[in-house]
Every structure is written in structure tokens, then in C-alpha cells.
Amino acid sequence: MSEENTSDSVSTKRQEADLVIAVEESTAEVTENVEIVAEPEIMTPAIIEKMKNQVSQDVRAVLQELEKKHTSLTEGLATALGAGTGAAGSLAALSSLGTVSGLSAAGVTTGLAAAGGLLGGGMLLGLGVLAAPVVALGGLSYSLAKKRKKADNAAALGLAAKKIFEIQARLIQHEEHFRDELAHIKTTLELLTHLA
């Protein structure tokens, strides 16, 4: 059991390291997609309008990148795949364990009895023995998918918030011209914080 926990821990650490690398790569991608407009010292109406448009495009690009990076594999799908794998293994064991192989009435009866006999019981206990892999693999798959999804989402949200903070920092230098945009950015950051 401790070897299994150590293996899970190593696997989780390996996944976390892969996630850190993916976040660093996606940071470079988002940085390339967000064009930075240098702020001049004199803010003319044309420059202000151009910066407002650029900020709107930059925030939209960050949020679109977040949407693309957001994980789409659900816990339900992972559970179904894990349980399906367990069911296939149980079905194979059921058809081959008994004295009569196959899925005929005699094959199923002897298969259940043989599976139950592993724990000193009969056909009813055999149902539990053969159902255990379905439940175990389904639960394990759900747990792993949920953990991975949570880590991926947290990384994507953190990256999006970082980029939006950078955009906000550019605007704060000329706050009097960008009050509406700064209010929009503040609202966006609050929403991202609630999602985290």
C-alpha cells in the first residue's frame, strides 16, 4: 500500500511539474498575443482612444486565451472511462473464471461462484468481487480528473489575472483618462478571483 501511495505521489509531482512548464509556455504565448502600446507623455484624444481600443482588445485576448486553456475533460467522463475499464475486466473475469467458460447461464453461474469462492463465499459474494474493480477504477479516475482539472484551472486563472494586472498597471499611469476601463478591469479581476 505504501508503494502505491509513493507511486501516486511521484505521479502527482510529475503532473505538477508538467503543469508549471505548460503555464510558462502559455505565458509566452499570451505575451506574444498582447501588443503593448507605449504611452506617450502627452495624451491627445486620438492617443487616448487608441489606447482604450488596445486595452479592450488585450483584455479580450487574455479572456479568450483563458477560455481555450480551460480544461474540458470532466470528472464524469473520466469516471465513465475508469468504470468502463473496470467493467470490461470484470466481464472478462466472469466469462473465464468458472468451470464453464463463456457468458451462457452456466458460464455466468460458475464464474460468479468462482469469484465468490476467492473470498470464501458463493455467487452473491462473487457479484461484489466482480463489481469492486468497476467501483474502484471509477472512483480513482474521478479523483484524478478532479485534481488535475482543479490544478489546470487554477494555473489558467492565475495566468489570466497576471496579464490583466499588467494591462491595469499601464492604465493607472493615466488614470484620469481610463476610469471606465479600469472599472471594467477591476470587475474582471473580481470575477476571476471568485472563479479561483
What's the chain's average pLDDT? 76
Q: Report the distance separating Cα 179 and Cα 154, nearest Å.
A: 29
pLDDT in tens, 152-196: 888 888 888 888 888 888 888 888 888 888 888 888 888 877 776
pLDDT score at 185: 86
Total length of the chain: 196
27 secondary structure, DSSP code:
H
Q: Is the pLDDT of residue 36 over 60?
A: no
Of 157, 99, 101, 90, nearest in space to 130 by CA? 90
Better-predicted residue by pLDDT, 136 or 12? 136
The stretch 51-75 carries a mean pLDDT of: 77
Least confident of 69-78, 118-127, 136-145, 183-192: 69-78
The stretch 122-135 carries a mean pLDDT of: 89
Better-predicted residue by pLDDT, 164 or 2? 164
pLDDT score at 74: 65
Q: Are 112 and 130 in contact (CB under 8 A)?
A: yes
pLDDT score at 71: 58
Q: ∠ CA 1-94-142 to the nearest 5 degrees? A: 45
